[in-house]
Structure 1
């Protein structure tokens, strides 16, 4: 702890040394265009000839102390009129582009050629808009929040690419460059018209050299879209005020369902509903939904669960993903007071109809953000409906720090009235301190829960922690806990629930959670084949709050080597100590309560991700409670650029337990086919064969974007039992929506 404290203190000194204001050094002037701009990817209008230019980009990865090579440099210009913000960019480089998919916001977008704009209209380093395009004119947009995201950790929680809006782009390609032209409507941005300086940066992905470039320099340890390192967009006059901004998105759908497993007849239904987006002010937005339908959302990607607790599946429904950081970032994993999948879905992921909902989100002023959400679900059978309310306030302090609070309420609802004796409420306050350069952070929070069925004692939640990052060293530690009577009906805290396989009962227990992580990254000075070597050491410990009984303790060490050709090798060792507080079964007879200590070792290798064919190979072996486990992983991917992508994932876990506790082989196979007939027409089929859940799932979706942000979906879903290979249920859904700006 003394060493950790000294490193944190050194972070404050480093912050002081690096406090130069990049917005004074990197400024792009924007002037109004006197002529109309045609979005065709050709920068031939007079406004482009006189517009200020951002060029001479910096390397951001794999190094951050030199300019990008001249033959792959980038030039960017801005102009505007009363309705649109225009961006023109020239991305120099050879025309052997890498394009993973023609699908908007596709998962492989950032693994290929890409150019992105980061806009922070409020210029407070807490929230920004990202607009990105690749050489095939595939669009990707996202909301970015101000949390630091260290490169190489896989943590992109601060980027919400579920945010979708209507904007326009065009691309022209040549042998030594590709040129992109964008028109972003002012109506989709949130800003004050009096704000004449916006935060701005650009990021260019150049996969052939496995490099990232930015206009305003970003340290190599952070991803290129870090809000702490933006330059400035300086307006020649206040940007145009948005007079009207209302979007209405009605939908109609028809569906057929057949529940064979329950012996129910096939049913056909027709449905309709509407979403609306209303700009209350230029920086505050109201979203409304009536009878929403999420049938087009792709099914969850299944996992093999080798723990005794529930697994977190991510939110996929668009309404809950937009501005989700306002509500969902409170707490720390695995303790989240708010988890939106508690609304409109049961514990098995089945749909609970939502009757209506609203969400107010945005900035009340430059330092204060608000999120207010209310949703009403319909009662099913004998179960009452529920009304859900969430309120979150974020108050920015200093440069990147935030004081924030939340209130969540679930209230039973029946016969058009609230049920006074059926409720759960959580309330809390947190402070997150982040230095301006993002290197040092510290946080603390405290919360309470109130429920109709428990006493108001042992009902608290707390979390404290700190972290420090520089180019080579990353350290982080947190401590959190919940009491026995802390219930978060709108949250996700799986370690509270312990299943007794003998009594078929679940016990709700408070616990404390300690997690610490340290890593060291070495970057070879010569420009050879290797980019970096990284060593990780993680420690995690959970124990009950009342009796201080151990739940689990793990120490994990790993070594990672990354090559310039994007391939990677990972070696891991894990020492695990689990204590079953109650008997639990993995195969046949339940394992008795008690302590189980075991070790595992594993290795993984990722091939060159730029190739048309790529793969991941993984193997691990070692103990598993009082037995043994071997795991094999394989992921294959073939890309028929740019129209086709064919993936196969395979995971086999062979568990051998002594005597009558049983043996089990768990197989999870997931082929996936994606065909893009154009940028607006696609067909995706995802198969999942899961022996642990005794389920074979088929999910096939056809999507036609016939107008910007307006779609027709045809979705087929089928589920079969693996054990006896019989049908469970199937459904066909046809849905059409239309985006209308008023």
Structure 2
């Protein structure tokens, strides 16, 4: 492995310092200052639009990437002292109504006729912003990172309008310069446009993108050429106060009503046009949607994504370090078990090559669990090299304040501090065919406790037909990341993968082909402990439906006792060995139907020579664009020898989304989880009465299913307003 690692370092290092290359440099759209006022109404009647240059003749991305699009799209852009303007004429290719899921913001890309703008204001092929809308007018906005990923949790102030005509739909938008980040004085931005038309199942882009990559790939952007540098947005200070009232009650503990009367504030201060300071005092996240529950049959902690707005802008600077199960920083470790009192975060670009991030958060003490007040500091620095690659360093420090635990106490005790220092190199070749990562982390704790190391690397190739990836990981037994997500320690992992796709000239099949993966674990003494392998075959239809089938093999030599039902029952002993063969199938229907469905099944062996049968089904129906109904259910049946016997777990989650307009939303979500014996009801009303300003009403219940009774209940009214100073 050491020889292979050295080879990868040499290979990646060769790519690191290749000169930057712009693949679609010949695709240039010139933008000029508006010669007349522009009203955002979905009507192209201003003189400024008549004189604007047009981006047209889009290239098809799917189902084929070798011809012009059959669906015509025209894009115009302009600007004034305060706004960047966009007008898009989306012509119909065939007769029939548009297809959308709802009017909800940040819609699912594949389930809506939509247009998206991807822009790279530094022209560094790595970071940027995305704005767009579906054919009914629902907005989409997100922050772009890692060369093409879009974080849709990012929200900002902008306005748009969609107007439908017999032969087209027009999308018009005004994006304030204060809502985005860009380098002062730069006159060329990376830019691309994406159009998805579900009636023809055609995805297209202005600058051509190979079909194996998403249309958001910044490696394939064209260039937006300004007639003069974009205006300086000037002083850019936003204050976002909130007022909250609520009541809750714990019926299990026969508690009384507990009333909440709170105020707090966020502030955004643009130190430069590309560097932002975020401040928060007494933040509240009660309006954030609850986590989707799962039936947990895994031996390790499960990952749930961050949903809180304060942690999201430029969040990749902190959260993308490492791999999915080796993260030195995971923001959900802050503030979920203790109140956040205040915090500050500096993030953004210093220049085209350097990004910086610094965060400091202070939480209060919790007397019930003896948790002390704690301070969290995270610092990140990233340097772009070559075409699209970068080096990064991350420092994470968690410090307990004024904490002297009693060694004889029966209450939980906590560490005085925990620190992680991480170094990372990310490879992204100019054409996106080669990507990879090499990283190392060192952890530190008091008196040497928690001092450990972690290392991982991967190299991936994604050509037109062939995809392969090599990945290996190492985490020492005493590695500790208390502000990270590292559910497993003391292992070496080797995980090669390979896949191949054929793209036939077929009227029904878009692509098909096999995939294979081998994942091996060893403990730090070199003992073989796990094998999770599969062979699969996937068919993607031109209708956008998908079918996959898998043959799986699993081996586990337990390194710790484990209850195979994960419900607090008898545990299997350390050192016991378990083998299982299984068969899985997955199918999702075409997204353009008002009735959609999908299912997955798993049949095969389980721990202790038992068997596991799993069925997951998803149903959806929409009365577009106002009402969307969904039902997700999972049934697990486990057959084991005594003392477990047969165990059945249901997980059922019906959901209703009502979008009266693109600013008024109502969602009710019910979850029944038999494994943890809980029914959760979450209802949320949101009125976006002004850009990025909201009124929320959130109602939540938790019930015990048998005997049925209320465990706890709460209702919250929250008002937020985005005020530009």
TM norm. shorter chain > 0.5? yes
1:165-176 equivalent positions in 2, closer than 5 A: 165-176=156-167
Query: Which ranges in structure 2 are unaligned for 5 or more consecutive residues?
Result: 405-412
How far apart, CA to CA, are the structure 2 residues paired with 1:6 and 1:249? 51
How far apart, CA to CA, are the structure 2 residues paired with 1:738 and 1:531? 47
Identify the residue that residue 479 of structure 1 maps to in structure 2: 472
How far apart, CA to CA, are the structure 2 residues paired with 1:632 and 1:283? 48
Is the aligned partner of 1:76 residue 2:75? yes
The structure-2 alpha-carbon separation of the partners of 1:432 and 1:665, relative to structure 1 and needing over 3 Å to count, comes to same
Q: SS of the residue aligned with 1:693? A: coil
Identify the residue that residue 131 of structure 2 maps to in structure 1: 131
1:400-549 equivalent positions in 2, closer than 5 A: 400-414=388-402, 422-452=416-446, 454-455=448-449, 459-496=452-489, 510-524=490-504, 526-545=505-524, 547-549=525-527
Alpha-carbon shift at residue 18 of structure 1 (Å) = 14
CA deviation profile, 1:111-144 (whole Å, cap 9, x unmatched):
2111111111111111011001122211110111
Alpha-carbon shift at residue 535 of structure 1 (Å) = 1.1
CA deviation profile, 1:195-254 (whole Å, cap 9, x unmatched):
001101000011112221000001110000101001000011111111111111100001
- Tell me which of 555, 578, 592 is aligned to 1:610: 592
Alpha-carbon shift at residue 6 of structure 1 (Å) = 12
Alpha-carbon shift at residue 589 of structure 1 (Å) = 2.5
The answer as to whether partners of 1:519 and 1:536 remain within 8 angstroms in 2 is: yes
Identify the residue that residue 152 of structure 1 maps to in structure 2: none
Alpha-carbon shift at residue 145 of structure 1 (Å) = 1.2
Is the aligned partner of 1:685 residue 2:656? no
1:229-378 equivalent positions in 2, closer than 5 A: 229-346=220-337, 352-378=338-364
- Tell me which of 211, 233, 237 is aligned to 1:220: 211
Identify the residue that residue 553 of structure 1 maps to in structure 2: 531
The answer as to whether partners of 1:11 and 1:440 remain within 8 angstroms in 2 is: no
Is the aligned partner of 1:597 residue 2:597? no
Q: SS of the residue aligned with 2:350? A: strand
The structure-2 alpha-carbon separation of the partners of 1:222 and 1:14, relative to structure 1 and needing over 3 Å to count, comes to farther
CA deviation profile, 1:326-372 (whole Å, cap 9, x unmatched):
101111121111111100114xxxxx210011111100111000111
The structure-2 alpha-carbon separation of the partners of 1:140 and 1:66, relative to structure 1 and needing over 3 Å to count, comes to same
The structure-2 alpha-carbon separation of the partners of 1:433 and 1:63, relative to structure 1 and needing over 3 Å to count, comes to same
Alpha-carbon shift at residue 394 of structure 1 (Å) = 0.8
- Tell me which of 156, 177, 199 is aligned to 1:208: 199
The structure-2 alpha-carbon separation of the partners of 1:551 and 1:736, relative to structure 1 and needing over 3 Å to count, comes to farther
Identify the residue that residue 582 of structure 1 maps to in structure 2: 560
Identify the residue that residue 91 of structure 2 maps to in structure 1: 92
C-alpha RMSD of matched pairs (Å): 2.5
The answer as to whether partners of 1:8 and 1:468 remain within 8 angstroms in 2 is: no
The answer as to whether partners of 1:30 and 1:233 remain within 8 angstroms in 2 is: yes
Alpha-carbon shift at residue 604 of structure 1 (Å) = 2.1
Alpha-carbon shift at residue 9 of structure 1 (Å) = 11
Number of matched residues? 707
How far apart, CA to CA, are the structure 2 residues paired with 1:415 and 1:142? 40
The answer as to whether partners of 1:15 and 1:437 remain within 8 angstroms in 2 is: no
Is the aligned partner of 1:34 residue 2:35? yes
The answer as to whether partners of 2:127 and 2:147 remain within 8 angstroms in 1 is: no
Q: SS of the residue aligned with 2:60? A: strand
Alpha-carbon shift at residue 95 of structure 1 (Å) = 5.3
The structure-2 alpha-carbon separation of the partners of 1:56 and 1:738, relative to structure 1 and needing over 3 Å to count, comes to same
Identify the residue that residue 118 of structure 1 maps to in structure 2: 118
Alpha-carbon shift at residue 628 of structure 1 (Å) = 0.7
Q: TM-score, normalised by structure 1?
A: 0.92
CA deviation profile, 1:698-720 (whole Å, cap 9, x unmatched):
00111111111111111111111
How far apart, CA to CA, are the structure 1 residues paired with 2:420 and 2:146? 25
**Residue range with higher mean Cα deviation, 22-31 or 627-636:** 22-31
The answer as to whether partners of 1:95 and 1:177 remain within 8 angstroms in 2 is: no
Is the aligned partner of 1:667 residue 2:650? yes
Identify the residue that residue 44 of structure 1 maps to in structure 2: 45
How far apart, CA to CA, are the structure 2 residues paired with 1:119 and 1:414? 47
Query: Which ranges in structure 1 are unaligned for 5 or more consecutive residues?
Result: 149-157, 347-351, 497-509
Alpha-carbon shift at residue 44 of structure 1 (Å) = 1.6
Q: SS of the residue aligned with 1:292? A: coil
Q: SS of the residue aligned with 1:661? A: coil
Identify the residue that residue 499 of structure 1 maps to in structure 2: none
The answer as to whether partners of 1:553 and 1:577 remain within 8 angstroms in 2 is: yes
How far apart, CA to CA, are the structure 2 residues paired with 1:174 and 1:576? 55
Identify the residue that residue 187 of structure 1 maps to in structure 2: 178
The answer as to whether partners of 1:589 and 1:662 remain within 8 angstroms in 2 is: no
CA deviation profile, 1:158-194 (whole Å, cap 9, x unmatched):
2100110111111221111111111111111211231
The answer as to whether partners of 1:405 and 1:430 remain within 8 angstroms in 2 is: yes
How far apart, CA to CA, are the structure 2 residues paired with 1:9 and 1:590? 46
The answer as to whether partners of 1:479 and 1:515 remain within 8 angstroms in 2 is: yes
Identify the residue that residue 410 of structure 2 maps to in structure 1: none
The answer as to whether partners of 1:15 and 1:436 remain within 8 angstroms in 2 is: no
**Residue range with higher mean Cα deviation, 11-20 or 58-67:** 11-20
Alpha-carbon shift at residue 623 of structure 1 (Å) = 0.5
Alpha-carbon shift at residue 734 of structure 1 (Å) = 0.6
**Residue range with higher mean Cα deviation, 579-588 or 702-711:** 579-588
Identify the residue that residue 151 of structure 2 maps to in structure 1: 160
The answer as to whether partners of 2:381 and 2:394 remain within 8 angstroms in 1 is: yes
How far apart, CA to CA, are the structure 1 residues paired with 2:344 and 2:365? 19
